Amino acid sequence: MPDGALAHPAGHPPAHAAAHPRLQHHFDTLGQQKDAASLGMWVFIAQEIMFFGGMFTAYMVFRMWYPAGFAAASNELDIVLGGINTAVLIGSSLTVAMAVHASQEGRQRQIVWYLVATLVLGVVFLVIKYFEYTAKLFPHHLHAGGEGVLFPAVGWFDVGATPLAAVAPEVRIFMVIYFALTGMHALHMVVGIGILLVILWMARRGAFTPKWYTPVEIFGLYWHFVDIIWIFLFPLLYLVNRHH
């Protein structure tokens, strides 16, 4: 096989007499190839940590400056919906972990079903988030042109006649940080669901075997990372000063 000869100039033969079709020529073994893929994903996640880290830093500075506004604004968020979404995401992390496990053991149908369960939970999360967003952006007690509106031009998050009016500017800062952090998180969920659809399609075609299931593993890393971001967002956004 000329490919093998090129890939192993040092003279040692390829690891597999007939190389696995998924083994790229610049790797010696599937294990080495998978290690390289994992390392690459972790370096990407390190970059993602810094990306969200900037927004978390902004959160810290503004919470230090405006504790009263943050406490008042946080209490406006729906703790039940936030709590359900936390459970939904943790559940989806479990189903992804089980999909990877099923891949390791070559249980083809279970890979598909665990990925479908992950997809359903991911969509449930986004649907709940949609209802939370619309409730905050277009509250039913909206006063046209009222004072204390987050973005007056569009009437976002009206605090006009509520107890929040006293700290309205601080509440607006909290809400901007809330939308920035949860918005970027939700965008990551949308991207994750897009990748998940491709992995699911591959799984249905029986692409993954115990020898090669790198895409499931790498997608799992991404999905778990997005879950971890929410694990920090939930207490920082929903649970500020709940004891009153």
Work out whether 241 is an interface residue with another protein (CB under 8 A). yes
Binder of another protein out of 106, 145, 163, 169 (CB under 8 A): 169
Nearest approach, Cβ of residue 139 and another protein (Å): 20
The smaller minimum CB distance to another protein, of residues 112 and 230, is found at: 230
Choose the stretch contacting another protein; rule: CB under 8 A; options: 33-41, 131-139, 156-164, 175-183. 33-41
Our measurement of the distance from residue 128's CA atom to the centroid of its chain's CA atoms, rounded to an integer in Å, reads: 15
- How far is residue 208's CA from residue 147's CA, in Å, rounded to a whole number? 57
Binder of another protein out of 26, 54, 130, 191 (CB under 8 A): 54
CA distances from 66 to 60, 103, 157 (A): 10, 49, 18
Binder of another protein out of 6, 61, 154, 161 (CB under 8 A): 61
- Terminal C-alpha separation, the chain: 73
Binding map of another protein across residues 191-220, x = CB under 8 A, - = no contact: -----------------------------x
CA distances from 35 to 42, 213, 225 (A): 11, 12, 18
What is the DSSP secondary structure assignment for residue 107, as one 8-state letter?
-
CA distances from 162 to 68, 143, 147 (A): 15, 11, 11
Nearest approach, Cβ of residue 39 and another protein (Å): 6
Choose the stretch contacting another protein; rule: CB under 8 A; options: 92-100, 117-125, 153-161, 183-191. 92-100
Least Cα distance to 82 among 244, 231, 221 occurs for 231
Got the DSSP string for 66-114?
Answer: -HHHHHHHHTTS-HHHHHHHHHHHHHHHHHHHHHHHHHHTT-HHHHHHH
Within 104-163, which residues bind another protein (CB under 8 A)? 104-105
**Is the Cβ–Cβ distance between 184 and 55 less than 8 Å?**
yes
The smaller minimum CB distance to another protein, of residues 60 and 138, is found at: 60
Q: Which amino acid is at 155?
A: G
Q: Which amino acid is at 80?
A: V
Binder of another protein out of 46, 127, 187, 198 (CB under 8 A): 46
Our measurement of the distance from residue 48's CA atom to the centroid of its chain's CA atoms, rounded to an integer in Å, reads: 11
Binding-site ranges for another protein (CB under 8 A): 12-13, 15, 28-32, 35, 38-39, 42-43, 45-46, 49-50, 53-54, 56-57, 60-61, 64-66, 79, 83, 86-87, 90-91, 93-94, 96-98, 101, 104-105, 168-170, 173, 220-221, 224-225, 227-228, 231-232, 234-236, 239, 241-243
